[in-house]
Structure 1
């Protein structure tokens, strides 16, 4: 099992990172929380989970061990796969997720794309006791604002990778950029667009 990767962060995208270790590039899928933490780093440590299926071995990466634990909690639930786990962690911060679970706020979790009422109820039911035993998770770092075009293209790339149709993603992004201007952070833009899509 690959517990973590430490090396040069040669590619940093809102949905994946490539870590160069002695000339070998390891690609890991990441959440927006991890992206915001590593965006401005040249090198670092990424905590990983290797998910093995018949047709693929996929590496998932996290800037903090606490986020990795939350991801593992999510995918331990029946009906919540790794893609859904990343979608949840890209739409809700660990703090927001924890607050929603502890306050039985099924509606907030249901607001994540791909999560229905039964799935949201299952997440609350199965993780509530675990959450009560844990303290608050660390907050991810803040992003430096990007230029309008880079911000738009990075958000569009992330949304299409997360399964949003390109026309719907473009429409949502443009509406949000008109409302909030260029100072909005990338992860916030993607979160708002996910809620609109």
Structure 2
């Protein structure tokens, strides 16, 4: 079992990270909650989870053990696999996921791609006891309002990543366009994060 990787970031194409560990390149899938905080280049440390199925061996990476633990609890829920777990942590910050569960906020959870009402209700019911000891911060983290310029490559990367996370192409295009009306961005990670947040209730 691979539990932790420390290496140089060679490539970032949401949601995939290519990490060079002593000459071996590991392709790691990471939620945007992790992806957004990684350096463009340089050394990164990821706490990993190896998922083995009949069709694929996939390695998932997280910036903290707590985030990985939440992912592992999510994929234990009936009907929630690694892909959906990745979508949950890409659409909402870990603290937001826990808050939605503890507050029975089914509506917020159904905004996540692939999560219908029944799945959202299962998440609340099955996860409530698992996250009851989670320490939520007194205040929620704010959005990144840094104003920068976007280009075609960033738009393409952002749309591709959102489709990989489960959104339909039309939904991804619409969300990205909505964000760009009020924000200027130069990083695809930032654009993806803002587009995903724009699809949450109250956004």
Instruction: Normalising by structure 1, report the TM-score.
Output: 0.87
1:163-182 CA-to-partner distances (Å, cap 9, x unmatched) read 3333442233123211x220
- d(CA) in 1 for partners of 2:16 and 2:56? 16
Say which of 166, 169, 174 aligns to 1:163: 166
Cα distance in 1 for residues equivalent to 2:37 and 2:71: 16
Q: 3-state SS of the aligned residue for 1:37?
A: coil
Change (3 A) 1:145 1:10: farther
Within a 5 Å distance, the mapping from 1:84-103 to structure 2 comes to 84-103=84-103
2:104 counterpart SS class: coil
Q: Judge conservation of contact 2:113–2:165 (CA < 8 Å) in 1.
A: no
Match of 1:152 in 2: 155
Q: Deviations over 1:48-91 (max 9, x none)?
A: 10000012111111111111011001001110000000101011
Q: What's the CA shift for 1:111?
A: 1.5
User: Equivalent residue of 1:160, what SS?
Assistant: helix
Q: Figure out how many residues of one structure are paired with residues of the other and give that number.
A: 195
Matched with 1:135 is 135
Over aligned residues, Cα RMSD in angstroms? 2.7
**Secondary structure of the equivalent of 1:148?**
coil
Structure 2 counterpart of 1:56: 56
Give matches, 1:9-88, under 5 Å. Answer: 9-88=9-88
Contact conserved, 1:176 with 1:192, CA < 8 A, in 2? no
Q: Which runs of 5+ in 2 are unaligned?
A: none
Gaps of 5+ in 1: none
Offset at 1:93? 0.7
Q: Which has the higher helix share?
A: 1
CA contact (8 A) 2:10 2:41 kept: no
Partner residue, 1:174:
177
Residues 1:189 and 2:199 aligned together = no
CA deviation string 1:30-64 (max 9, x = no partner): 10011111044511111110000012111111111
CA separation of 1:194 and 1:25: change in aligned 2, threshold 3 A: farther
Structure 1 segments of 4+ aligned residues over 4 angstroms from their partners: 141-146, 193-196
Query: Residue 143 of structure 1 contacts residue 186 of structure 1 at CA under 8 Å; is this kept in 2?
Result: no
